[in-house]
Amino acid sequence: MKTRMVIAVLLLLFAAETAVLFFFAAGDTEDTQDAVLVNEILQTLQEDWPDLKHHRNPSGLDYVVLDLDGAVLFKTRESLSESINSAVRHRDTILDIRPRGTTSGRLILHNTSAQSLQSKKQTCILLLMGVLLLQCGICIWYLLYLNRRIIAPFHQLKEFSKRIASGNLDIPLEMDRHNLFGAFTESFDIMRSELKKARQAEAKANASKKELVAELSHDIKTPVASIKAASEVGAALSGNEKLKDNYSQIIRKADQINTLIENLFTAALKDLTQLSVIPGDMDSRELKTLLENSDYLHWAELPPVPDCLLYADKLRLQQVLDNIFANAYKYAAPPILLSASLEDWCLSLVIEDMGTGVSPEELPHIKEKFKRGSNAQKVEGAGLGLYISNYFMQEMAGTLSLANGENGLKAVVRIALSGRI
């Protein structure tokens, strides 16, 4: 609707410009003298001819009176033509003054065509400049409108796609659903929601598998332990060396089975090594953008960030901050306190929420895989966010530490300085 209005206004302005140019081109550039005023001037001069000292201009026209020898007897303005030759060059009107039927002088009426043409030119130029400025203003406004309603949303979609590709499905796509691409962007957010549901279903399935492995390991360990115990008793009581060797073989196989069962647990902890972390030089001013992206509910006031060169993977650092802010949104209330300071080898970023914190007994284990605090039982989650964030910070030569602050849980993200590692 706005696009049609802009096009209509521009067309109207173009029509106005065309009309002004047509008016100027088709207009009469020659000014004709008012015959009545000219006759009145001529009549007055003939009446006052014996003594022009008392002559008064009866009109608004400019003129000069010459005698037959070319001497100036009267003129209304100093800059007027004072000779017949200059009057001819200026295209002035020249009339004879005949007071008693005999030519006694000349009347030179000033030609104002040039001034009128100049005035029309100036008026036309001013009108065209005004219309052009208005057109430029409309075009600039429309470009800003297109940037806000089309280009900026596409940039948001680009950042949103990066997050989706990195596996961050918690942050919604905050956009105007009623703009030109409202349905399109809403479909993207629906896709994110469905992917998040699928991820949660997958996490639940994996948790069920781990519970099944734990149950099977318990069920297997019990009879294996009984077999091993019985074999140890048999080996101790047996007087036959061959029989004792058989019992020892059973004991070794039981130990082997126990080792395989333990490997089922440790193997599950190795999957995170597949997530690549490629740190490099990053300007600390980019940290403001990362914080703005993570704090999409605007709970925090961004602190001044010291200028320095960081050693980090921008994508993975974004995930770390996303996980910390997502936890604050889930388990705490606004505001979120932020501060940034330089240390010897790193930039320290302190993020403290207004929640209840974590019990001292659970705090040392909160960064472990699938570990969640007791206050998180009624909130959905897989218990992987802090574990993954800690892994990313270690791979970037930084640290992630958690503690109970004065208000709630305090996360300290230490990002290594480039050249200090």
How far apart CA 316 and CA 280 sit, in angstroms, is 11
| Domain boundaries of the chain, sorted by first residue | 35-111, 182-274, 280-416
Both tokens of 122, joined, read 């100036």
Report the interhelical angle of 152-166 vs 314-331 (nearest 10°).
Answer: 90
The pLDDT, as a whole number, for residue 401 is 94
Report the interhelical angle of 241-267 vs 182-237 (nearest 10°).
Answer: 170
Single out the residue of 313, 320, 274 nearest to residue 294, CA to CA.
Answer: 320
- Preceding omega of 335 cis (within 30 degrees of 0): yes
How far apart CA 291 and CA 122 sit, in angstroms, is 56
Q: Is 171 exposed, middle or buried (0-12, 13-18, 19+ CB in 10 A)?
A: buried
The pLDDT, as a whole number, for residue 257 is 80
| Domain 280-416 listed as CATH 3.30.9.10 | no
The pLDDT, as a whole number, for residue 165 is 73
The pLDDT, as a whole number, for residue 174 is 66
The pLDDT, as a whole number, for residue 339 is 94
The pLDDT, as a whole number, for residue 183 is 63
The pLDDT, as a whole number, for residue 374 is 66
The pLDDT, as a whole number, for residue 308 is 94
Question: 280 near 309, Cβ under 8 Å?
Answer: no
Single out the residue of 320, 300, 297, 310 nearest to residue 367, CA to CA.
Answer: 320
pLDDT tens digits, one per residue of 281-333: 999 999 999 998 888 888 999 999 999 999 999 988 998 998 899 888 888 88
The pLDDT, as a whole number, for residue 352 is 94
| C-alpha to C-alpha distances, 342 to 171, 272, 345, nearest whole angstrom | 29, 30, 8
- The radius of gyration of the chain's CA atoms, rounded to the nearest angstrom, is 47
**Spans of the chain below 70 pLDDT:** 1-3, 20-21, 23-33, 114, 173-185, 207-222, 225-226, 260-275, 373-383, 421
